[in-house]
Amino acid sequence: MCGLIGGADDLVHFSCTMDTTEFRRRGKEMVDLIADYLENIEQRTVYPDVEPGYLRSLIPEEAPEDPDTYEDVVKDIERVIMPGVTHWHSPYFYAYFPTANSFPAMLADMLSGAIGCIGFSWAASPACTELETVMMDWLGKMLKLPEDFIAGTHGQGGGVIQGTASEATLVALLAARCRAVRMILASDPQRPETGITSKLVAYSSDQAHCSVERAGMIAGVRMKKIPTDQSDKYAVQGETLRRMIQEDKAAGLIPFYFCATLGTTPSCAFDHITELGPICNAEKIWMHIDAAYAGSSFICPEFRPLLNGIEFADSFNFNAHKWLLVNFDCSTMWVKKRSDLIGAFKMDPLYLKHDHQESGMITDYRHWQIPLGRRFRSLKMWFVFRMYGLKGLQDYIRKHVELAKEFESLVRADQRFEISADVVLGLVCFRLKGSNEVNETLLKRINNGRKIHLVPCLLSGQFVLRFALCARTTESRHIREAWRLITQLAEEVMQELPH
Amino acid sequence: MCGLIGGADDLVHFSCTMDTTEFRRRGKEMVDLIADYLENIEQRTVYPDVEPGYLRSLIPEEAPEDPDTYEDVVKDIERVIMPGVTHWHSPYFYAYFPTANSFPAMLADMLSGAIGCIGFSWAASPACTELETVMMDWLGKMLKLPEDFIAGTHGQGGGVIQGTASEATLVALLAARCRAVRMILASDPQRPETGITSKLVAYSSDQAHCSVERAGMIAGVRMKKIPTDQSDKYAVQGETLRRMIQEDKAAGLIPFYFCATLGTTPSCAFDHITELGPICNAEKIWMHIDAAYAGSSFICPEFRPLLNGIEFADSFNFNAHKWLLVNFDCSTMWVKKRSDLIGAFKMDPLYLKHDHQESGMITDYRHWQIPLGRRFRSLKMWFVFRMYGLKGLQDYIRKHVELAKEFESLVRADQRFEISADVVLGLVCFRLKGSNEVNETLLKRINNGRKIHLVPCLLSGQFVLRFALCARTTESRHIREAWRLITQLAEEVMQELPH
């Protein structure tokens, strides 16, 4: 019985049989199912062979009136779900960027589900809020972030777990918008607010993630793309930003936000933040750093220089749920001044007030984010950091970079191919020397083969294949097998070309 | 070994021992830990007795260099975490609104974590997208939503899982803003867009959730609160909205969005959507319905009339993660025209394109929401709907309403107390007859006693106690015990009053 024992007698006729006793049994079966799935994932077709709409016909059109048995539900996992799953944790998955999956994170998530608290305020579950603050400090220290970003017991900054980098970018943009409007109103109190907003201008790289442009649409502000080019490795240079700012100011606009990218999605390019930061600071422009993918690598001393310039930033974000073994969602964001974020969002209805609200010692994370509700996500960080240790996490990052370098050497050793961008971390951008069409055909063949999975990008108008190290269990033999498949298909494609 | 077997030899020195074999063991222990926790939750102090900052001193200041043992981590759950947890699933928890917690949902979430796909597009994991569409149809049919909201195979509408109701409100507002701007530009192409935005005006009840006002701040549009009063049960009436619209139009503003609430947070009041809907339709105002808490009850025929008027809405949202046994996060949202949502957000970089993109048969949910990434959340719906069946879910709702009615009778039978708002579903608003101060004192005593947990609200300037049925396992005996505690503390408080 699922909770209807006792109470009004006439209601005790339903019979979901999943009580704690049954959960002990089924939960353990599920643990085995999961272990089996991950142990044998390599044998599955990485990219599913289904047509749009495949699933609807496999299940009823409506929910059952009376409960199904658990056996039926479990049977349907293989029948209904698995044929349509893209297996992101297969060692043959090289698409997009990685998404994390580790056992310590899964164990923590089970616990988080059971505690099932909603941590919108400190009082709603103090442990949920406090562990998050401390875990963000732990991670900030692993990254050697400037002291300003660490909450400690008296810091003005600190960290928060957002759902995704898209949300972090947007939250930073909204905070920047609010700060800009306030600064202008402070010097010119008569100026109408809408008149200010319509003059605001934000900037990002033309290589920035689509969510940056989208954040501009949501916030209703102008977002300009700063041109990059291959000769500068697809990075934004200080000089280009400086020129755009001057032009825009001359045209009566108000520059207020710059989203720098460390590790762009197309090619893992790094904007020159040591040049860009001082410009932003001088112009009172909020600099947000989006290092969604690359951020995890900064825990290694050899990659930490990529983050130099962080001291100029107002906010910094990366997805621990990408490359740091913490399952989705866990997008870790830090700000130098928490008051900047809070000011953009704060709402305090009576039903959310609590005794400790004004103590200054505590954090109500609902003021730091778009959603009100939030899961107990810091448990995942705590389990992963402790079960791997800093060294384990560093080794994991290094392993992926090593494998990327190995793949790069395979590509470079083949005269028919070229590398399209510097291989800095775990992403290799490459292509067949030749037309975009031939590369498009090659990629289509690769993905239709369904043995490995890749996605493309455009670099300087060229269609490029992205080979991203993704799965936790990828080894050298998988890389070599992937390369064997790619070259075999390339051979086919090239033989079909008209001479 | 966590994935570093093989590969570059010099890297194989780290030793997170959590491989699949170890996960089989630890996962099963975690299942038992969870079952034990939930079986004995009643014995725990529902509201924690810790001071802000309690946690930091209990754990190290930095992450360990080398891995901790799993035993150490598990030991710390009771030592570090549990003392600071507000136990939302204790049958003595009556604060805020419920958040769901059921065993079928937890099992599904374990599976979702293991599959660990990111479902931003159909191709990124077809099963993730398609199960979501069909589950939203199942749930839409349980609610007897108008056909327009059902995706089916050729519908123009359909459902999506958002993280929280706050996001749904915002997404609807952004879609409405985009639609309004386009409509005006269609008739007046020369008009500058910022000039339009600055004239837009949105509306919601003065009882609406704080996230509605916040959505207005984020979108940068004027949001006006429509006054309600106790004589009308804190509901928005058609006449009031009509008058405000006329006044605003006369002043040159452009009304474009109304967020109706079914089941407000303070008192579970219901706006008169059968009156409000036709006004919105006539004025081409987007009507969004936020039924975050109450929505789950509409699966019961006896509560379905509360949703009458839904046919006038453009979008509808409630939190299945509140009262429908699907663990957080699962905020279910439907729209009549998916093109309205998609139009507000669409971005298609090459790395997210896929072959089926333009087929019309498929859905890329990233265009329906703020974040790009998303978990495989529909698995939770599927497990819960099947393991409970519609009848089981209905019985669960009815049980909570019955218990609320039981608590209401207890209050009504005591001359010292009064009921402050109609008890329609699982929320009872009540107070001691007398000053706000005496009620504030009573609430403070209740929460300091830590045996039960409640939060307050303000209704017509009166400080009111909210008694919300929350936990899945709450029974009549818990309600009676809660009432015994409340009356005992009320007695104390009243004896201390100066005569």
pLDDT at position B376 over 50: yes
Tell me what percent of the residues of chain B surpass a pLDDT of 90. Answer: 84
Task: Check B472 against A3: CB less than 8 A apart.
Answer: yes
In a domain, A172, yes or no: yes
Q: Does B102 touch chain A (CB under 8 A)?
A: yes
Taking all residues of chain B, what is their mean pLDDT, rounded to a whole number? 93
CB A244 within 8 A of CB A203: yes
- Chain A residue with CA closest to B18: the answer is A103
Whether residue A140 lies inside any domain: the answer is yes
| Per-residue pLDDT at A15 | 58
**Closest-CA residue in chain A for B462?**
A350
Q: How confident is the model at residue B498 (pLDDT cuts 50, 70, 90)?
A: confident
Q: Show the tokens assigned to A406.
A: 């190995």
d(CA B252, CA B494): 54
How far B435 CA sits from the closest chain A CA (Å)? 17
Tell me the CATH number at B291.
3.40.640.10
* CB atoms B88 and A125 under 8 Å: yes
Whether residues B7 and A476 touch (CB distance < 8 A) is answered with yes
Q: How many angstroms separate the CA atoms of A432 and A410, rounded?
A: 13
A442 in reach of chain B (CB within 8 A): no
Distance (Å) from the alpha carbon of A76 to chain B's nearest alpha carbon: 11
Interface test with B, best of A86, A88, A325, A469 (most B CBs within 10 A): A86
CA distance B370 to chain A (A): 7
Question: Which residues of B, range 41-60, sit inside 8 Å of A by Cβ?
Answer: 48, 50, 52-56, 59
Query: What is the reported pLDDT for A7?
Result: 39
Q: In which band, very low, low, confident or very high, does the pLDDT at B15 lie, cut at 50, 70 and 90?
A: low
Q: Is residue A421 part of a domain?
A: no
Whether residue A455 lies inside any domain: the answer is no
Q: What mean pLDDT is predicted for residues B340-368?
A: 75
pLDDT of residue A360: 59
Average pLDDT, stretch B57-77? 97
- Inside any domain, residue A472: no
The answer for A 462-481 residues in CB contact with B (under 8 A) is 463, 466, 472-473, 475-477
Strand partners, A334: A159, A316
Q: Are A164 and B14 a contacting pair at CB < 8 A?
A: no
Task: Answer yes or no: is A1 within a domain.
Answer: no
Answer for the pair B109, B357: CB distance below 8 angstroms, yes or no.
no
What is d(CA B1, CA A387) in angstroms, rounded to the nearest whole number?
Answer: 11
Rounded distance, CA A318 to CA A161, Å? 10
Residue B292, both tokens: 């975050």
Contacts of B4 in chain A (CB under 8 A): 395-396, 399
Task: State CA B414 to chain mean position distance.
Answer: 33
Q: Is the Cβ pair B391, A66 closer than 8 Å?
A: yes
Q: Give the pLDDT of residue A357.
A: 59
CB contact under 8 A, B389 and A63: yes
Within-domain flag for A95: no
Looking at the DSSP assignment, which residues form a beta bridge with residue A270? Answer: A262
The stretches in chain A having pLDDT less than 70 are: 1-16, 346-348, 356-361, 499
Show which of residues 143-172 on chain A sit within 8 Å of chain B, judged by CB atoms: 153, 163-167, 170
Number of domains in chain A: 1
Distance CA B370, CA A170 (A): 9
Tokens of A318: 């990366």
Pick from B327, B310, B349, B262: nearest CA to B38: B327
Per DSSP, chain A holds a count of helices (H) and strands (E) of 14, 11
**CA–CA separation, A365 and A362 (whole Å):** 9
ipTM here: 0.94
Residue B30 has pLDDT above 90, yes or no: yes
What's the pLDDT tens digit per position in B183-206?
999 998 888 877 888 899 999 999
Judge whether B336 lies within some domain.
yes
* B355: chain A residues, CB-CB within 8 Å: 444
Judged against a pLDDT cut of 60, whether residue B27 lies above it is answered with: yes
Backbone angles phi, psi at B52, to 5 degrees: -50, 130
Which chain B residues touch A82 with a CB distance below 8 Å?
Answer: 127
Q: Flag whether residue A339 sits within 8 Å of chain B, measured between CB atoms.
A: no
pTM listed for this prediction? 0.95
Is pLDDT above 60 for B10? no
- Residue in A471, A462, A428, A460 with CA at minimum distance from that of residue A267: A428
Q: Could you list the residue range(s) of the whole structural domain that residue A216 is in?
A: 110-385
B219 touches chain A (CB under 8 A): yes
Interface probe for B, chosen from A167, A362, A388, A481 (most Cβ of B below 10 Å), is: A388
pLDDT class of B229 with cuts at 50, 70, 90: confident
Task: Give the torsion sign (CA, B292, B293, B297, B299).
Answer: positive
A396 in B contact zone (CB under 8 Å): yes
Q: Is A219 on the interface with B (CB under 8 A)?
A: yes
- Report CB contact under 8 Å: B38, A20: yes
Of residues A452, A131, A138, A112, the one with CA closest to residue A320: A138
